[in-house]
Amino acid sequence: MASTPALPREKSLKLERYLRGQEESRMLRQSDVVIVSFGKSGRTWLRVLLSRYFQLHYKVKSNRLLAHDNMHVLNRAIPRVFFTHDNYLEDFTGTHRSKEPYANSRVVLLVRHPADTAVSQFFQWKHRMRGRKKFINAYPDANGELSPFAFLRDDTSGIPKVVRFMNLWASELDSVKDIMVVRYETLRQDTAGTFGRILRFIGEAPKPEEIAQSVEFASIENMRALEAGTFYKRTGNRMKPGDAANPESYKVRRAKVGGYRDYFTDDQNAEIERLVATTLSPAFGYNGTGTDPRVI
């Protein structure tokens, strides 16, 4: 039997992004709640918080990490939660400058300071990201040789890419009828209070002790211990370090607000802060102005 010729690289990219977008569209239609974030904005932390809450509230198995309908099939009262980085949907729908596909969904948009996001993404790229993922999401294929500062300034990988994602969502907030924007920093500052607001927004009626136990379970220390061990089943490499001896290769790394400053000189930090201040929408409150009322 003759082998099928391989698709040219660009056609292969277009087809893969289209098929991923088709799958995202299906999951979006079938979901009760959508959690949207740029990569490395705290999504895994929120996923663990929600997983633990549902386990406690609905008495389901404790070693499952929430993934769309995997808890819903155990108890129909648990919502189907779609986690997405909003990477591919537009390749299927053609809505490149619109969030109209999310218009009728209940959306939690999780955001984080672009510099902290980009630094965390640098370590994801350097230690965890596979070559194919770099290719389909247009990240540099430099075998980890870019410096953190060069990565942050790069238009295809760093702060400019994060800002474009956030700015598009800021311009489209009115197109989504039911949306809550949660700043990572707010969730970090008041985890119990903010998580309670998220739960009530998605239609839950949490007990204070359930929130407290979920917050304790999802502490950075415990999440790192879970990642180093084998607590979560059927998660592939999602909850495993790239190198157990290298703390920068963990999925759960430092979780420090403003931690990006530790990696750069004063002059570099000043340039980073100017870039954010002059390019990021004021809606999120990261450039010294008031936030949109939908942002907590």
In this prediction, residue 238 has a pLDDT band, given cuts at 50, 70 and 90, of low
89-146: per-residue pLDDT in tens?
999 999 989 999 999 999 999 999 999 999 999 998 888 788 788 888 888 876 657 8
d(CA 217, CA 236): 21
Cβ-proximal residues to 53 (8 Å cutoff; 6+ apart), any chain: 195, 199, 204, 206, 210, 211, 214
d(CA 81, CA 19): 20
Instruction: For residue 35, list its beta bridge partners.
Output: 83, 108
Q: How far are the Cα atoms of 58, 87, 88, 95 from residue 19, in angstroms, in the given order?
A: 34, 12, 8, 15
Confidence at residue 228, expressed as pLDDT on a 0 to 100 scale: 63
- pTM > 0.85: yes or no: yes
- Residue ranges of domains in the chain: 17-284
155-190: per-residue pLDDT in tens?
988 999 999 999 999 999 999 999 999 999 999 999
Instruction: For residue 36, list its beta bridge partners.
Output: 84, 109
d(CA 185, CA 105): 24
46-95: per-residue pLDDT in tens?
999 999 999 999 999 878 899 999 999 999 999 999 999 999 999 999 99
Q: Which residue has the tokens 């893969």?
A: 16
- State which fold the 17-284 domain adopts: Rossmann fold (3.40.50)
9-34: per-residue pLDDT in tens?
788 899 999 999 999 999 999 999 99
Cβ-proximal residues to 129 (8 Å cutoff; 6+ apart), any chain: 139
Report the SS3 class of residue 68. strand
